[in-house]
Amino acid sequence: MTAPILAETTGATLRITFARPDTLNAFTTEMFTLAADAVEKTAEDSAVRVVLLTGAGRAFSSGADLTGAEIDGVPDTGTIDAANRLTLALRRTPKPVVAAVNGPAVGVGCSIALAADLTIARESAYFLLAFANVGLMPDGGATALIPAAVGRARAARMAMLAERIPAPLAAEWGMIAKTVPDDEFPAEVERIVARLAEGPTAAYAQTKRALNATALAQLEIALAIERESQSALFATEDFTEGVAAFRAKRTAVFRGR
């Protein structure tokens, strides 16, 4: 079987590719765990000076894989715990992290993309918190990461209306670092990664530490609230209906219970 992620070190760069293109790189617990393992190891690896995240094929990630989500009974929180571990690994590693968003970044895929230090996107990419469409709330740290970047009003707009945000608008809002024309994207990503790999690693680490302490001081609190709240939402009729509608490719009918 093909590995769900590819993690390889080339030069001074750890390159992590989400590698389930047939599902638009929908995340499984295993994918989060493997990616977190790789990122956590960079903290003590002096050979790695920058981490790069991207997706195989035409998407960064379509979010959590709902094809196996339970309808009868309550899903466990293993996937949430694994996603939270990856988000924290990306913020805690002293190495700069670049997310090369090569296509849609949806649901928790959006959260992971925005947990990077520099998020670079193709002009054709977009960001979408699709959780409300299946009766859930944002997780993976989105309730801290997005307001820190764009403010509460825009974060609520994304979370509650499940509105697709094109990459150029995301850059205009300050949610991501920049967008790049599609045909120039690979070269620009390599240029930025090379610059970081050749840069002052210790200074980057201290800059990241300060930004975590100020702009993202509430991240761990948000992750805990997301976990508790999402667990409660897993038991609702709205979630059951949301997943059933997703599978049937129809509009969900929510009843608020």
Q: Does the residue 73 lie in any domain? A: yes
Residue 209 φ/ψ, nearest 5 degrees: -60, -45
Other beta carbons within 10 angstroms of residue 35's beta carbon come to 26
Query: Quick check: 67 pLDDT over 90?
Result: no
At 1, the pLDDT band (50, 70, 90 cuts) reads low
Which CATH number do you get for residue 134?
A: 3.90.226.10
Residue 118 φ/ψ, nearest 5 degrees: -125, 120
Query: Quick check: 71 pLDDT over 90?
Result: no
Q: Does the residue 22 lie in any domain? A: yes
Q: What average pLDDT does the chain have?
A: 95
Read off the amino acid at residue 59.
Answer: A
pLDDT in tens, 120-159: 999 999 999 999 999 999 999 999 999 999 999 999 999 9
Q: Does the residue 188 lie in any domain? A: no
Structural domain that includes position 7: 1-182+203-257
Structural domain count, the chain: 1
At 2, the pLDDT band (50, 70, 90 cuts) reads confident
Interhelix angle 78-92/201-214, rounded to 10 degrees, is 130
Q: Does the residue 68 lie in any domain? A: yes
Other beta carbons within 10 angstroms of residue 10's beta carbon come to 9
Give mean pLDDT, residues 32-52.
Answer: 96
pLDDT in tens, 163-216: 999 999 999 999 999 999 999 999 999 999 999 999 999 999 999 999 999 999
What pLDDT does 66 receive? 77
What pLDDT does 75 receive? 63
Q: Which of 1-5, 26-30, 141-145, 238-242 has the lowest mean pLDDT?
A: 1-5
Q: Does the residue 197 lie in any domain? A: no
What pLDDT does 77 receive? 86
Query: Quick check: 70 pLDDT over 60?
Result: no
At 73, the pLDDT band (50, 70, 90 cuts) reads very low
Q: Does the residue 176 lie in any domain? A: yes
Residue 173 φ/ψ, nearest 5 degrees: -70, -20
Read off the amino acid at residue 139.
Answer: D
What pLDDT does 68 receive? 57
> Rounded distance, CA 139 to CA 153, Å?
17
Q: Does the residue 141 lie in any domain? A: yes
Q: Does the residue 193 lie in any domain? A: no
